[in-house]
């Protein structure tokens, strides 16, 4: 049986309509690999600054590492200078991404206030120049992740999305919030439908997808080609295999946690991997039912052996493993 792709990014087929969103500090290779294993249709790396690519490449290389099984893989890059992004992209080519994605959605003040990330939404001419230069220079598809605008008074999502398409971009992912909203309030989905109806290229919808019902509703209401799931997947990577968090048994939670921990330790080393995994622990399980002593013990374990031993004890209290996931 030959599977039909859900959509195409240029000439690259994508088999699936749920994708892990790029999230600084969360969508590292261990979590991306786990999500891809569970059904995320492709991988986006954590974003990298063009300045970092050009001036301190060694320090950001861990963000660019991926497994072959993750392909297609999009490297996400940000900057406010078209020439600098082009120069950085030329450097990134040696690591063989399938796709180059321009971040126009980061709302962090340190990024957006200098005109990069969501700050690019205020300079449509730069958007056009960046997408055009990258599309002209490289054979691989160029895509963009955008927001609805800087704030409610500057909702220029249609202008930006059309500019991405008209300058050679092959896909637009849309977070249904403004820069000013950051991650507050409800995401607005009708603009995603407007963009989808206006463009010929694929559109991915993003924002407030925490359950399978949310995913279906976004696909139905917007007509988008796929959904991008960020915070709703942290603590619930099973969403990519079609399961809501309450449907996942304590045994499956434990098994996946241990897989994730092993991936973290293989990637970062035993000690750092365990420390970095702690932020995921708080999403995988509910800390509410734990006593203060149990919480301290869980979050201060220094070896994988003591950590897994404690988890084995906790599995006897299934309510602890019934967290809804996300944050």
State yes or no: pLDDT of 238 exceeds 70: yes
pLDDT digits (tens, 9 = 90+) for 283-309: 888 766 777 888 788 778 888 888 888
Question: Using alpha carbons only, what angle is made at residue 141 by residues 139 and 134, rounded to the nearest 5 degrees?
Answer: 70
Phi, psi of 73, deg, nearest 5: -120, 130
pLDDT band at 326 (very low <50, low <70, confident <90, very high): low
pTM: 0.94
Mean pLDDT (whole number) for 239-251? 93
CATH architecture of the domain 7-241 equals Alpha-Beta Barrel (3.20)
pLDDT digits (tens, 9 = 90+) for 187-234: 999 999 999 999 999 999 999 999 999 999 999 999 999 999 999 999
Give me the CATH code for the 248-321 domain, please: 1.10.1200
| Buried b or exposed e, range 237-249, using 16+ CB within 10 angstroms | bbbbeebbbeebe
Mean pLDDT across the chain, nearest whole number?
93
Q: Which of 41, 74, 102, 106 is catalytic?
A: 106
What pLDDT was estimated at residue 307? 82
pLDDT digits (tens, 9 = 90+) for 144-177: 999 999 999 999 999 999 999 999 999 999 999 9
Distance CA 29, CA 46 (A): 9
Mean pLDDT (whole number) for 273-292? 83
Which residues, 6 or more positions from 165, have their beta carbon under 8 angstroms from its beta carbon?
Answer: 172, 199, 200, 201
Mean pLDDT (whole number) for 7-31? 97
301 is catalytic: no
Comma-separated ranges of CATH 3.20.20.70 domains in the chain: 7-241
CB atoms within 10 A of CB 97: 24
Comma-separated ranges of CATH 1.10.1200 domains in the chain: 248-321
């Amino acid at each position: 049986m030959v599977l039909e792709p859900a959509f195409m990014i240029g000439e690259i087929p994508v088999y699936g309509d749920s994708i892990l969103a790029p999230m600084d500090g969360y969508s590292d290779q261990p979590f991306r690999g786990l999500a891809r294993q569970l059904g995320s249709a492709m991988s986006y790396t954590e974003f990298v600054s063009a300045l970092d690519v050009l001036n301190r490449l060694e320090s950001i290389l861990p963000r660019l590492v991926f497994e072959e099984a993750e392909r297609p893989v999009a490297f996400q890059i940000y900057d406010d200078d078209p020439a600098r992004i082009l120069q950085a992209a030329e450097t990134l080519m040696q690591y063989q991404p399938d796709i180059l994605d321009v971040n126009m959605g980061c709302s962090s003040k340190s990024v957006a206030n200098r005109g990069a990330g969501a700050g690019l939404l205020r300079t449509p001419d730069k958007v056009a120049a960046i997408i055009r230069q990258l599309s002209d220079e490289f054979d691989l598809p160029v895509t963009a992740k955008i927001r609805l605008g800087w704030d409610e008074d500057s909702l220029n999502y249609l202008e930006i999305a059309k500019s991405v398409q008209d300058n050679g971009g092959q896909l637009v992912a849309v977070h249904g919030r403004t820069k000013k909203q950051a991650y507050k309030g409800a995401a607005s989905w009708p603009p995603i439908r407007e963009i989808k109806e206006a463009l010929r290229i694929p559109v991915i919808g993003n924002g407030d997808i925490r359950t399978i019902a949310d995913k279906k509703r976004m696909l139905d209401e917007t007509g988008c080609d796929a959904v991008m799931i960020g915070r709703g997947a942290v603590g619930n990577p099973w969403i990519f295999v079609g399961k809501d968090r309450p449907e996942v048994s304590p045994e499956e939670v434990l098994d996946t946690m241990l897989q994730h921990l092993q991936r973290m330790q293989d990637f970062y080393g035993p000690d750092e991997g365990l420390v970095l995994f702690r932020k995921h622990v708080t999403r995988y399980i509910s800390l509410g039912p734990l006593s203060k002593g149990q919480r301290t013990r869980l979050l201060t374990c220094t070896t994988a052996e003591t950590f897994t031993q404690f988890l084995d004890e906790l599995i006897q209290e299934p309510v602890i493993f019934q967290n809804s996931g996300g944050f």
